[in-house]
Amino acid sequence: MFKRIDKLIIDLPKPDHPDANAAAAVQELLGGRFGEMSTLNNYMYQSFNFRNKKKLRPFYELVASITAEEFGHVELVSNTINLMIEGTTFPGDPDISPMQDAKDKRNTYHFIATAQTAYPMDSMGASWRGDYVVSSGNLIFDLLHNFFLEVGARTHKMRVYEMTNHPVAREMIGYLLVRGGVHIIAYAKALEIATGVDMTKMLPIPDLSNRKFDAARKFEEQGLHRKLYTWSDTDYKKITQIWKGEHPTEGGLLEVVPGTPEGGPIPNLQELPEEFAPGISEEDFLEIAKRLQRSAGL
Ligand code: MN
Ligand code: MN
């Protein structure tokens, strides 16, 4: 089962300008074939469906614990998209067309369907699909697929990074390049233990270090490229049997951290009267506050 913490995996900067078209590109990293919805659901189903968890415990625990991290990545990319769209439109009477600037943006679902927030779709507006999940039941096949999936995710992140210098997008991508790099090596090491083949010799793919990205370098300087979290107070500690030794490309010792990163605050999204979102007026709010007080016996 899952326990939820009301924090974002990192602190995101407050944007000083919107860029809805860049947010549309970032959707690929959420709901594209190689996006966070795909990594989450691949590892989640593989962990549910894993056969002989007793015998193959460290492999099961690796996939299960990374699942929890990917949930946090879905939350991080979603919040990034939300912060990047905010400020594209202005409040006003319907007759002055307060959302006139939205009609020329790449993704009009952001304005018509979701009130300027993230949705499980790719950069072209196509829905995320369940058949992006590979849960073959064959351990080597699944680990190889996960390695491939993380390499694809890294490639797409590098390309979106090159498409936008929006500070919120850069912060998110910088962090996820580092964390995705950890997952690539984790699956490579799992494959090496399972088969004897050293997958790390072909890394990095693409052949460009995370250190070439300003926004990633600061997270590597904190050593985040060497840490794998358990995402649990008590469980998944057998991942230490896989996540050990030297970092294959950067050097330094790999380290399993029990629990979660510290995290940062969840951004508070502004009201959008022109979208009727959340659609609670000041008078409504005062009435709701009274009802809440009454039901609390105050
Ligand atoms: Mn991820
Ligand atoms: Mn990952």
pLDDT one-digit tens code per residue, 105-133: 999 999 999 999 999 999 999 999 999 99
Mean pLDDT in residue range 27-51: 98
Residue 4 inside a domain? The answer is no
Residue 285 inside a domain? The answer is no
DSSP state of 207: S
Please state, in angstroms and rounded to a whole number, the distance separating the CA atoms of residues 177 and 150: 10
pLDDT digits (tens, 9 = 90+) for 132-162: 999 999 999 999 999 999 999 999 999 999 9
Ligand 2 midpoint to CA 38 (Å): 9
Ligand 2 midpoint to CA 241 (Å): 19
Ligand 1 midpoint to CA 126 (Å): 20
The overall pTM is greater than 0.95: yes
Nearest to 10 by CA among 173, 243, 233: 173
User: Can you give the pLDDT at residue 210?
Assistant: 97
Describe the chain by its helix, strand, coil percentages, rounded to 5.
55, 5, 40
Say whether 155 sits in a helix, a strand or coil.
Answer: helix
- Give residue 296's pLDDT band: very low, low, confident or very high (50, 70, 90): confident
Ligand 1 midpoint to CA 112 (Å): 28
User: Can you give the pLDDT at residue 256?
Assistant: 98
Ligand 2 midpoint to CA 83 (Å): 22
Ligand 1 midpoint to CA 4 (Å): 17
Residue 2 inside a domain? The answer is no
Q: What are the DSSP E strand ranges found in the chain?
A: 227-229, 255-257
Ligand nearest to the backbone CA of 182: 2
For ligand 2, an ion, list residues with CB under 5 A: 39, 180, 183
Ligand 2 midpoint to CA 162 (Å): 20
Residue 14 inside a domain? The answer is no
- What CATH code is carried by the domain that includes residue 224? 1.20.1260.10
Residue 45 inside a domain? The answer is yes
Residue 278 inside a domain? The answer is no
pLDDT digits (tens, 9 = 90+) for 196-215: 999 999 999 999 999 999 99
Domain that holds residue 228: 20-273
pLDDT digits (tens, 9 = 90+) for 226-247: 999 999 999 999 999 999 999 9
- 80: pLDDT strictly greater than 90: yes
- What is the dihedral sign for C-alpha 159, 160, 166, 168? negative
Structure tokens at 293: 């007080």
Ligand 1 midpoint to CA 179 (Å): 7
- Give residue 218's pLDDT band: very low, low, confident or very high (50, 70, 90): very high
Please state, in angstroms and rounded to a whole number, the distance separating the CA atoms of residues 74 and 66: 13
Residues recorded for the chain: 298
Ligand 1 midpoint to CA 123 (Å): 17
- Give residue 282's pLDDT band: very low, low, confident or very high (50, 70, 90): confident
Residue 30 inside a domain? The answer is yes
Ligand 2 midpoint to CA 28 (Å): 15
Domain count, the chain: 1
